[in-house]
Amino acid sequence: MVVTEVFDKLKELQEVLAEKYSLEQKIEESPKRLSSQDELLARMKKEYIETNAKYEEVRANVEHLRADLAEAEALRESGEKGMDNITTHREYEALDKQISEAKAREDGIRKDLQKEEKALAELDERMHSNEAIIKSQEEELSKEKNSLEDEVSSYKAKLDELARREDEITPGIDQEIVYKFQRIIKRNSEGIVAVRNGVCTGCHMILPAQFANEVHDGDKILFCPYCSRILFHQDVESDEVETYFTDEDTGSLSDFEFDDEDEEDQLDGEDTEDEDSDEEKPLSYEE
């Protein structure tokens, strides 16, 4: 298979893989869409349980106060009835004290009872409100889960179709190239890009001149030494103007200021070391 045919297949494969990985990510992240609703429902149920426990506590207290009130009322009424049978002043004073104390206790209990009954009514109303909200939330969550399951099922059906297309495209392409290409697509969503005016359109880095010429020749599969994408040459129209760098971007030697000759010598030495260093060789695959 000639290199141009490989390029055409890779471009087609790129579309398939990009959609495939996008769908896989959606499937992976789909449970997170309902996590906030699940957490909200769990908090509401916990609050309902706590409210119910408080309700039972207040209800028991109300029952106890009602019993105390009935006892105080009975004691007061007994004293009031006894007033008709007293014969001495001392008996009157003792009975009057009993009635006063019973009445004071009765008033205190009734005040506490009214307060607790009001709290009980508020708790009861809150519980009924929470029950309605929880039921509504459960129904909504159930619908969302069913909808999400249908959505995920459609994603999986699309993945099956994409897998068939992938199997139709990859025969004839070296498996190592396919493996590297898949990894590039996962990372960048674009695995094969054009070289225009000696610049990789994937990472917008200027390529070495000799390497750019090899891409132009199109005799082998070449990977960008900077972003690892597969490269192919693309001509630029004569009336199309492209500017990748300006003087402000690149700078010049006039931007540097030297305090003494030693710094100039040091810069010259660094330039010499750069010239002696080996240039990184781009990855390539020959058909």
Amino acid type, 125: E
What is the torsional sign of CA 55, 56, 61, 67? positive
The reported pLDDT for the residue numbered 264 is: 42
Cα 231 to Cα 241, 242, 246, 249, 269: the distances in Å are 21, 19, 25, 25, 35
pLDDT at position 26 is 92
What's the rounded Cα separation, in Å, for the pair 178 and 198? 25
pLDDT of residue 19: 94
pLDDT by residue for the chain (287 residues), tens only, comes to 688 899 999 999 999 999 999 999 999 998 888 888 899 999 999 999 999 999 999 999 999 999 999 998 998 888 888 887 878 888 888 888 888 998 999 999 999 999 999 999 999 999 999 999 999 999 999 999 999 999 999 999 999 999 999 999 999 899 999 999 999 998 888 899 999 999 999 999 999 999 999 999 988 999 999 999 999 999 876 555 444 444 343 333 333 343 444 434 433 444 444 444 444 445 544 44
pLDDT at 267: 36
Check residue 167 and give its pLDDT.
94
